[in-house]
């Protein structure tokens, strides 16, 4: 009998703003991060400890598929200034935010990726299909909102260039 399968869903977007600015918005759970999360999917983001980057602890309510789920997460920075990770231990879910310098002086390639355990069998296959659709939709909106906040903070009010790109969205491991 095999154990649970880990599944990964991600979405990426190039944002025309300095990587440091973009990362700072993501890591700031007091003012920045709440501006980038879509309110129709997330509400009641509460900082329980810290507030910026490593060591921050949050609680948030996620609304998806007609259900509300309240969970807590602990924030780490495995690569400070580049990778921020939210781990929701009670849910078995890990979401990472990666900010890489883009091919120019002022751009950032941002990837949001969530890894979670799937149920075995047919239930897991259905979860994978539904979670992929829902999470990609959420991430696309989150990345658009992040871009808007970054543009406002950098003073660059440009029309949306549609810089979205899909990263590989499926990874299985033991």
Residue 52 in 3-state DSSP?
strand
Residue 54 in 3-state DSSP?
coil
Q: Which residue has the higher pLDDT, 66 or 139?
A: 139
Say if residues 12 and 165 touch (Cβ distance below 8 Å): yes
Q: What is the pLDDT of residue 6?
A: 79
Per DSSP bridges, beta strands 5-15 and 83-88 are unpaired
Residue 53 in 3-state DSSP?
coil
Domains of the chain: 5-158 (3.30.530.20)
Q: What is the pLDDT of residue 61?
A: 93
φ/ψ of residue 3, rounded to 5: -85, -175
Average pLDDT for residues 138-150, to the nearest whole number? 97
CA distance 121 to 28: 39
Q: Which residue has the higher pLDDT, 131 or 129?
A: 131
How open is the CA angle 109-54-49, to the nearest 5 degrees?
Answer: 125
Placement of tokens 């490593």 in the chain = 54
Q: Among 32, 56, 58, which residue's Cα sits nearest to residue 44?
A: 58
Q: Which residue has the higher pLDDT, 86 or 125?
A: 86
Average pLDDT for residues 55-77, to the nearest whole number? 91
């Amino acid at each position: 009998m095999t154990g649970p399968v880990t599944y990964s869903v991600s979405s990426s977007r190039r944002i025309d703003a300095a990587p440091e600015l973009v990362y700072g918005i993501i890591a700031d759970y007091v003012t920045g991060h709440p501006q980038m999360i879509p309110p129709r999917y997330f509400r009641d983001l509460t900082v329980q400890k810290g507030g910026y980057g490593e060591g921050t602890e949050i609680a948030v309510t996620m609304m998806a598929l007609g259900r509300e789920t309240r969970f807590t997460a602990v924030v780490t920075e495995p690569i400070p200034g580049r990778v921020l990770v939210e781990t929701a231990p009670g849910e078995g879910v890990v979401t990472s935010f990666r900010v890489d310098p883009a091919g120019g002086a002022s751009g950032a390639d941002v990837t949001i990726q969530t890894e979670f355990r799937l149920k075995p069998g047919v239930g897991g296959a259905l979860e994978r299909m539904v979670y992929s659709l829902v999470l990609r939709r959420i991430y696309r909106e989150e990345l658009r909102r992040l871009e808007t906040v970054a543009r406002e903070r950098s003073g660059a009010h440009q029309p949306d260039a549609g810089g979205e790109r899909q990263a590989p969205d499926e990874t299985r491991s033991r």
